[in-house]
Amino acid sequence: MRKISPALLITIAALWVCNAHAAPDAPASDASPLLATTGFLTQVDQVRQSVTDKTSELVLDAMGLIGVPYQRGGSTVDSGFDCSGFVRSVFKQSIGLLLPRKAEEQASATHHITKSELKPGDLVFFNTMRRAFSHVGIYVGGGKFIHSPRPGGEVRVDNMGQSYWQQRFDGARRVLADASAQTTAPLSMLASSTTEQVLKPQAPKHQALKSAHVKKHEKKHEAKGHKAKKHASAAQVKKSSHTKKHTRR
């Protein structure tokens, strides 16, 4: 099993930031290697400072697991990870939040956002097994996400712009401090709690309506049963009274 040191993680993150902000038509000169090195060190320092942010911490924790092998049903470093087990482990270890175990349940328990709203730490879902939300990863910025891909693979970073992932993209989700909230909240709010929080998948709307309909039907049926029992009791009293009267005669 292979893990990446924090110093190398900072270097990788800084390279991404440099690539994202590099001028496409910058003129070349003899001083460019020195300037590039100076700029690179500046970016490293900026990334190091940003690690105090909980979202950055979560992303760096996830990247620290690069190289851990895929294992179906796995959810620990020792056993290996499948996709949802990897996501669940990162959120639990980084911010003390326990997501549901399955990818589709994680999609159900989190807040829907558009692709353009993606920020580091959000979840991205893909249809890789001919069913919705069959694969999940963590967005790390720059159009990239980290995930545990498949049997024989390892935790790695991939580009969402690749045709394979573009064609299979199923949606994005944001983890909220309150699962019932209608607005997003920063991940740092999740980390402020000293107790482990649990997000549960929400029942689909049609299922909730069906459940309400069933309860209404049960109450109606119960009321009818109570009414019928009352009538039967009244009829029995009347019959008993009639029998006594007939016996006297």
Rg (the chain; Cα; Å): 29
Between CA 128 and CA 117 the distance in angstroms is: 23
- Name the one residue in this structure whose structure tokens are 């980290």: 146
pLDDT bracket for residue 77 (50, 70, 90):
very high
- Among 25-34, 54-63, 192-201, 232-241, which is the least confidently predicted range? 25-34
pLDDT in tens, 178-213: 544 434 444 544 444 444 567 767 655 555 545 555
Active site residues per annotation: 83, 135, 147
pLDDT in tens, 85-114: 999 999 999 999 999 999 999 999 999 999
pLDDT in tens, 200-249: 676 555 555 455 555 565 666 566 665 656 666 666 656 565 555 555 55
Straight-line distance from the first to the last Cα atom of the chain, in angstroms, rounded to the nearest whole number: 99
Between CA 80 and CA 72 the distance in angstroms is: 8
Q: What is the pLDDT of residue 72?
A: 96
Q: What is the pTM of this model?
A: 0.60
